[in-house]
Amino acid sequence: MILKDHQIHPVRDETVHIDLLEVRLDEKIHAEVTIELEGAEDSPGVDAGGVLDQPTREIGVEALPTDIPEKIVVDVSALEMNSALTLAEVNVPPNVTLLDEHPEEITIASIVPPTKVEEPEVEEETELVGEDGEPIEAVEGEAEGEDADGESSDSDSDSE
């Protein structure tokens, strides 16, 4: 038997459901295998300030149930800046076949330069312009809650 699905309660972290699949040991099956990267800290691209990206975290394989690896470890210590490692370059264990038709097109890992996030420039304070295109000057005494005559525009003062 192999584990097909495993559900965990999101709060209590307890198993709530397991699906097992009975298989024949003499028939090949399809399975998803996790890819684990190693050697990133030794990579020249990472040393130069690059960022390791792993777009593909699992791959489909075909093998006898006893030949399916728990994970496939991929060494990325030789990756340079702006270089990539494809599925075609990954060494899979003997008796394991990759299911992807075009492994040279599937990127497992790459090292890219860090992206710079540019802060938007703060604009200088602008002046108000009237309909005729002339700047509008602030009237003295005009403050929040007062109109142009200097009187308070609070509705409470009118009702007294």
pLDDT at 120: 73
pLDDT at 27 over 70: yes
Q: Over the stretch 86-120, which tens digit does the pLDDT of each residue have?
A: 999 999 999 999 998 899 999 999 999 888 767 77
pLDDT at 159: 47
Q: Over the stretch 35-82, which tens digit does the pLDDT of each residue have?
A: 999 998 899 998 988 999 999 999 999 999 999 999 999 999 999 999
pLDDT at 132: 73
Pairing of strands 29-38, 97-98: unpaired
160: pLDDT confidence band, cut at 50, 70 and 90? very low
CATH T-level assignment (fold) for domain 28-112: RNA Polymerase Alpha Subunit; Chain A, domain 2 (2.170.120)
Where do the domains of the chain lie?
28-112
pLDDT at 11: 94
Q: How many residues does the chain have?
A: 160
> Quick one: average pLDDT of 146-152?
52
pLDDT at 126: 65
Percent of the chain with pLDDT over 70: 77
Instruction: Answer for the pair 4, 21: CB distance below 8 angstroms, yes or no.
Output: yes
Q: In DSSP terms, which residues pair with 34 in a beta bridge?
A: 58, 71
Whether the CA torsion 107, 38, 31, 29 is positive or negative: it is positive
